[in-house]
Amino acid sequence: MLDIRFVRENPELVKENIRKKFQNTKLPLVDEAVALDAERRDAIARGDALKAERNRLSKANGPLYGQLKKCDDGAKKAELEAQIASNNDAVRANAEEMERLDARLAEVTERLTQIMMVIPQMIDPSVPIGPDDSHNVEVQRFGEPKTPDFEVPYHTDIMERFNGIDMDAAGRVSGNGFYYLMGDIARLHSAVTAYARDFMIGKGFTYCIPPFMIRGNVVTGVMSFAEMDAMMYKIEGEDLYLIGTSEHSMIGKFIDQILPESKLPQTLTSYSPCFRKEKGAHGIEERGVYRIHQFEKQEMIVVCKPEDSMKWYEQMWRYSVELFRSLDIPVRQLECCSGDLADLKCKSCDIEAWSPRQQKYFEVCSCSNLGDAQARRLKIRVKGEDGRMYLPHTLNNTVVAPPRMLIAFLENNLQSDGSVLIPAALQPYMGGCERLVPKN
C-alpha cells in the first residue's frame, strides 16, 4: 500500500509501475485516487472552517444573552433577540452542512482506501520485467544437479515403500488435498522442521509458535484481496481466518504498535500448520503432497529499518540455500519478474530444489521484501532516537515447508536399493539413524 502523498506527487511513476506489472486495468484508479484525495482534503478544510464558524457563533450568543437579561429597552431587546435567533439559525444550518459534509467525507475516504488497497507497491528497480512466472530469471545455482543411473519413482511411491503415507484414508476422512504421514516418513517430516527451527535459532532468530487463526483486519493488512480470496479459509460466523502461512500472524503481532528503534531488527522464526484453498487444477507432478490444503512450515520474518531491508533480503534467501545444501539438495535462486510479484511485494525470489525424477527445479522457498506496505496497512510504526516516527520494512522467507520439501529430500537422497540416506546434519533429529530402509 502506497502513501497517498506519493501517489499525489508522482502519479505518472505509479502508472508506469502498474504497466510494469501488466495490470493496465488499474491505471484509471490512479487518477481517481488523486481526485478523491483532493476532494477529501478540501472536505477536511471545509469542515475545519465550519467548526470554527460554529464555535464563533456559539460564543457570540453568550454576551448577547447577558445583554438581553439586563436590557429594559423594548426595541433593544427585540434587536438582541433577533440577533440571537439569527445566530442560532446559522448554527443549525452549519450543523446540517457539517452532517452532509461528514457523510460525503466518509464515502470518499472509504472509496479512496479501497483504491489504495489495490494499487500495487512500487517494485524495486532490480526486478526483471515480465508478465508472468515464465519470465522469472535464474540468478545462480548451488550444488550439482544429480542424474541417477536408476529410475526415481514418484514421491508418494517412495513414501509407500516405507509404509509412510496413506492418502486414501485421508481422502475418506477429509477429501482431496490431505494426507496421513506414517512411521519413518512422519518422523523425517518432524526431524526436518526441528532441524530448521534450530538452524534459524543458530542464526540469532527468536523462535515463536504463533496463533493459527487471525482476524480479518490482520488478513487485509498482510496480503492483497486477490491473495486472500485464493488462499484463505474463513471460520464461519466469526471474524477469524485460518493462516495460510505463519508470516501472517507473525507480522500481525506488531499491529497498531510503536516500536522503539533500539528494538530493531525484529528477527523471528516460527512454526505453524498452514491452510490453503489452492484453487485451480494442477498437473500430474503436483499430485501427492506437492500442492495440498494443509501442511506444516518453518518461517522467518524480519521487521527492520528501511535502509536495512535489502541487506536482510539478501541474507534471508541465502539462509534457505545454506539449509538445503546442508541436506545434500541442489538448489537455484530464481528472481521473480514484475508480473509474478504479489501487489504488496517490491522484490521477491524463489529458491527451487532439484528434482532428479523430473530433471528440473521446483519451488521450495519464497523470499520477499514488502517494503513498508504491510507496516502501512497494519499501522506498525517505529519511533527513532530523534523522536521521528516512520514505517519499518517487513520481509519473510520460507525456512522449510514439508512435506513438499520431503519430495526434494527423498529424491536427492534415494539410493539404487530403495534406501534413503540421512545427511549428517539431520541424523541427531532421527535418533542417529544414517539410512532409512524400505519396508516394501
| Residue 206 φ/ψ, nearest 5 degrees | -90, 130
How many other CB atoms sit within 10 Å of the CB of residue 310?
17
- pLDDT at position 96, please? 79
Instruction: Please give the Cα distance from 247 to 316 (Å, whole number).
Output: 14
DSSP H helical ranges for 119-208: 155-161, 167-173, 183-202
Q: Output the CA torsion 361→364→369→375 (10° steps).
A: 150
- pLDDT at position 230, please? 80
Q: How far is CA 436 from CA 408, 430, 432, in A?
A: 15, 10, 11
Mean pLDDT score, 255-271 = 97
- pLDDT at position 281, please? 42
- pLDDT at position 47, please? 84
CATH of the domain spanning 133-436 = 3.30.930.10
Average pLDDT, the chain: 91
- pLDDT at position 284, please? 45
Q: Tell which phi-psi region holds residue 22, choosing left (phi > 0), alpha (psi between -120 and 50) or beta.
A: left
pLDDT tens track for 122-170: 999 999 999 999 999 999 999 999 889 999 999 999 999 999 999 999 9
- pLDDT at position 50, please? 78
- Please name every residue paired with 208 in a beta bridge, in sequence order, or none if there are none: 270
CB 156 within 8 A of CB 181: no
- Segment among 61-65, 159-163, 302-306, 426-430 with least mean pLDDT: 61-65
CB 355 within 8 A of CB 379: no
Spatial CB neighbours of 229, under 8 Å, sequence gap ≥ 6: none
**Model confidence at 287: pLDDT above 70:** no
User: Could you tell me the residue ranges of all domains in the chain?
Assistant: 4-118, 133-436
**Model confidence at 397: pLDDT above 70:** yes
Amino acid code (one letter) for 210: P
C-alpha cell recorded at residue 6: 506519493
- 157 or 440, higher pLDDT: 157
Nearest to 204 by CA among 351, 315, 364: 315
Whether the bond into 428 is cis, omega within 30 of 0 = no
Per-residue confidence at 290, pLDDT binned at 50, 70, 90?
Answer: confident
pLDDT tens track for 339-381: 999 999 999 999 999 999 999 999 999 999 999 999 999 999 9
- pLDDT at position 176, please? 87
pLDDT tens track for 95-123: 778 888 889 999 999 999 999 999 999 99
Task: Tell which CATH architecture fits domain 4-118.
Answer: Orthogonal Bundle (1.10)
Q: Which residue has the cell 501427492?
A: 288
C-alpha cell recorded at residue 220: 487485509
Mean pLDDT score, 18-46 = 95
**Model confidence at 66: pLDDT above 70:** no
Instruction: Please give the Cα distance from 190 to 429 (Å, whole number).
Output: 8
- pLDDT at position 85, please? 67
Spatial CB neighbours of 404, under 8 Å, sequence gap ≥ 6: 289, 290, 295, 364
C-alpha cell recorded at residue 229: 480470496
